[in-house]
């Protein structure tokens, strides 16, 4: 029996919470998970932290392969997701079905929560600049570095939460309004890779095999992700 050390970006938290216990029961292996936004995880790895396996969004795994941190040839696509909006459970849901409706919903909200270092938060910061509403949005912003930003809505500290859809769906007490309008939607692909210095490469690859089964795909879909 091996213990697999796993680094994962926050968008996978909901799915991993269900899939990892299933894998542990089926394989006999244990999994030690650390969650962070991909940007923060990359900073940790650059400072010397390591694991057996990483599942991160965007180009992170390719960067780690170029830097010799992740084994070339171990890369696998796992799932993808978009960004959405959530409100407190039971609250009225604004219309975000078009770009103009989306802008008006943001401007009408008393407060809006998004992350400072998560991929969705950094994208949203650029987006409101592009839409010409950065100044009014800064006045109503409720922000923190990372984590599940929907928790601020659940705690009634913000009216709207902006984050990747699986992260919003992982928070009890809030409801998904829907995805961003298509013309401003951004899709993040979660990619896995085995660390070059892993002490448990075989077990790490067994976990990857498990995460790409049809049964795992059903869990990803239920948690707001599109399986690869």
Predicted confidence (pLDDT) per residue in 48-59, tens digit: 999 999 999 879
SS (H, E, C) 115-129: ECCCHHHHHHHHHHH
**Cα–Cα distance, 154 to 26 (Å, whole number):** 34
Q: Of the given ranges (11-15, 81-85, 109-113, 126-130), which has the lowest mean pLDDT?
A: 11-15
| Alpha helices, H only, 67-200 | 99-108, 119-130, 134-139, 150-154, 165-169
Q: What is the pLDDT of residue 1?
A: 87
Whether the predicted pLDDT of 228 surpasses 90 = no
Q: What is the pLDDT of residue 226?
A: 95
């Amino acid at each position: 029996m091996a213990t697999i050390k796993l680094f994962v970006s926050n968008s996978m938290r909901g799915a991993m919470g269900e899939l990892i216990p299933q894998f542990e029961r089926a394989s006999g292996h244990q999994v030690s998970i650390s969650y962070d936004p991909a940007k923060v995880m990359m900073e940790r790895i650059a400072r010397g932290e390591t694991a057996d396996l990483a599942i991160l969004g965007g180009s992170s795994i390719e960067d780690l392969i170029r830097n010799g941190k992740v084994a070339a040839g171990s890369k696998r696509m796992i799932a993808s997701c978009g960004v959405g909006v959530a409100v407190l459970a039971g609250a009225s849901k604004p219309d975000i079905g078009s770009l103009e409706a989306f802008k008006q919903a943001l401007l009408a909200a008393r407060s809006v929560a998004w992350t400072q270092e998560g991929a969705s938060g950094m994208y949203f910061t650029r987006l409101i600049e592009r839409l010409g509403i950065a100044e009014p949005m800064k006045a109503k912003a409720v922000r923190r570095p990372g984590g599940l930003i929907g928790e601020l809505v659940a705690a009634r500290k913000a009216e709207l939460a902006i984050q990747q859809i699986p992260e919003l769906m992982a928070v009890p007490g809030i409801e998904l309004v829907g995805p961003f309008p298509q013309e401003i939607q951004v899709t993040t692909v979660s990619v896995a890779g085995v660390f070059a210095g892993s002490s448990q490469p075989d077990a790490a690859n067994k976990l990857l095999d498990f995460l790409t089964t049809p049964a795992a795909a059903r869990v990803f879909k239920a948690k707001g992700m599109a399986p690869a």
